[in-house]
Amino acid sequence: MAEKIKLNLNRVPMPKQTAAIRSRNFDEVALGYSEEQAIEEAGRCIQCKKPGCIKGCPVEVNIPEFIKAVHEGDMPEAARIIKSTNSLPAICGRVCPQETQCEVACALNKKGAPSAIGRLERYVADWERAHPEVGEKQKEHVAFNGKKVAIVGSGPAGLTCAADLTKLGYKVTIFEAFHVAGGVLMYGIPEFRLPKDVVQAEVDYVRSLGVEIKLDHVIGKIATVDELLQNGYDTIFLAPGAGAPMFLNIPGENLSGVYSANEFLTRTNLMKAYRFPEYDTPIKAGGRVAVIGGGNVAMDASRCALRLGAEEVHLIYRRSEVEMPARAEERENAKEEGVIFRLLTNPDCFIGDEQGKVKAVECYEMELGEPDESGRRRPIRKQGTEFTVPVDTVIVALGTSPNPIVPSTTGGLELTRWGTVKADEDTGRTSKDRVWCGGDMATGAATVISAMGAGKRAAADIDAYLNR
């Protein structure tokens, strides 16, 4: 007779820097589990016979198995299990929205206390990074199968696809436009959520498998996709990211002091403007900062602004908090740190001074009407509610649209009406022979892990295609 399992519903909390301290530094907010905490949390997993969590994970990490290894204190085994399907676990453990993927499918979630899968994944990945000799021993070296694949972009989709194909024997070259590999993991997500040395350690792991990464290579400029196909690459996986920032198209948006979130975050994270003048790239974030938008990027920008020395950060969002696309955890972090949420508020225009520098945002209030196509209640302007918010800096975080450089220089690549590349969801195949696409360039702005899932599926399909 099966023994009745006693459920432990006490999730081990993640130690964090306190809000008052962390809101003024760029060090990582979440400090990570200790070994004892990890083993304790791992003990809560009930080792389901039919685990839902694995299905919830876009890269299908064998979650119960690795958690079991953690509980037994066998970290090398836990790392081996994770790395067999996920090449970037220290990143995923930090930035995946587990609450909508693996953890939502956890049996314990019905009781409101799912296994802390993300925290455990992070613990294992950090443990492995601290014990490099273990990972080295576990690495298998596969013989070159004679086929070459080019990948455009070294973000999560590109890195995942590269690692998977290399493990199968392909010679993979990644072309990266920037001066460092990692894509959005380097330029977009801030240091305090995802330390850049953690990203570079995982990039180095992918390199150590045999992947070549060519930096400073803007495909479409230095070489076109067709030229790569003519010059010895058997197939190409396009993963250049979402690219171009969207604006509101309202008056005053080009005033100096108005940033896109992409620019603000690129200056801060990639160019290390938070260390200006030691680093040469400057940024303006003093006084009062308004951030427009309600997604994770808006949270990142708001929290960066605080750390850069803003006195007040006002987050302006046209719907209510329920409709915000940002993760609950990020909203909480932002509020704790002092970001002021100005909900049901929309900007009308920006006002500048004589020098052409932004000095105020004119806003109006909104109310929620019937649900729209997105299923969220449509915000409607409330007449006669106009008011002015004086500001020193504005950050527009409204999402991105596809960068045109690759599509406009590649013949035969079918696009959607949003300018994204048409790609089969299960395989990543595009309308163009020998060309696959995944990540934000195919889906529009989405998550790191969904891009990784696309990279993984494309790798499998490229392998099937080249072995047909």
Partner 1 sequence: MYRIIARETLTENIHLLEVEAPEVARKAQPGQFVAVRVDEEGERIPLTIADWDVERGSITIILLAVGTTTRKLARLNAGDSILNFVGPLGRPTEIDRFGTVICVAGGVGTASIFPISRLLKARQNEVIAIMGARTRELIFWEDHLRSVSHQLIVTTDDGSYGRKGVVTEPLKEFLGARKVDRVIAIGPAIMMKFCSLTTKPVGVKTIVSLNPIMVDGTGMCGCCRVSVGGETKFACVDGPDFDGHEVDWDLLMSRQRAYLDEEKESMKLWETKVVKK
Of 50-58, 65-73, 194-202, 274-282, the window that binds partner 1 (rule: CB under 8 A) is 274-282
Among 7, 9, 31, 215, binds partner 1 (CB under 8 A): 215
Cβ 8 to partner 1 shortest distance, Å: 46
Residue 226 binds partner 1, judged by CB under 8 A: no
Per rule CB under 8 A, count of chain residues that contact partner 1 = 45
Q: Give 129's strand partners.
A: none
Residue 256 binds partner 1, judged by CB under 8 A: yes
On whether the CB atoms of residues 261 and 363 are closer than 8 A, the answer is no
Among 8, 52, 276, 377, binds partner 1 (CB under 8 A): 276
Alpha helices by DSSP H, 287-353? 296-307, 328-337
Cβ 272 to partner 1 shortest distance, Å: 8
Residue 459: which region, alpha, beta or left (left: phi > 0; alpha: psi -120 to 50)? alpha
Cβ 262 to partner 1 shortest distance, Å: 5
Backbone angles phi, psi at 395, to 5 degrees: -125, 120
Among 13, 356, 369, 412, binds partner 1 (CB under 8 A): 356
Cβ 247 to partner 1 shortest distance, Å: 7
Contacts of 191 (CB under 8 A, 6+ apart): 26, 27, 28, 269, 274
On whether the CB atoms of residues 395 and 305 are closer than 8 A, the answer is yes
Exposed e or buried b per residue across 152-183, where buried means at least 16 C-beta atoms within 10 angstroms of its C-beta: bbbbbbbbbbbbbbbbbebbbbbbbbbebbbb
On whether the CB atoms of residues 360 and 390 are closer than 8 A, the answer is yes
Instruction: Round to the nearest angstrom and report the end-to-end CA distance of the chain.
Output: 49
In the shown chain, the binding pattern of residues 398 to 437 toward partner 1, with x for contact by CB under 8 A and - for none, equals --x--xxx--------------------------------
Cβ 271 to partner 1 shortest distance, Å: 7
Cβ 244 to partner 1 shortest distance, Å: 5
Residue 257 binds partner 1, judged by CB under 8 A: yes
Q: How far is CA 381 from CA 314, 319, 349, 363, 364, in A?
A: 20, 11, 14, 10, 7
Nearest to 259 by CA among 300, 229, 220: 300
Among 223, 351, 415, 460, binds partner 1 (CB under 8 A): 223
Residue 212 binds partner 1, judged by CB under 8 A: no
Distance of CA 464 to the CA centre of its chain: 28
Of 189-197, 267-275, 298-306, 379-387, the window that binds partner 1 (rule: CB under 8 A) is 267-275
Of 28-36, 252-260, 328-336, 438-446, the window that binds partner 1 (rule: CB under 8 A) is 252-260
Residue 244 binds partner 1, judged by CB under 8 A: yes
On whether the CB atoms of residues 119 and 99 are closer than 8 A, the answer is no
Contact residues: partner 1, CB under 8 A: 177-179, 187, 215-218, 221-223, 241, 243-245, 247, 249, 253-257, 259-260, 262-263, 266-267, 271-272, 276-282, 284, 355-357, 400, 403-405
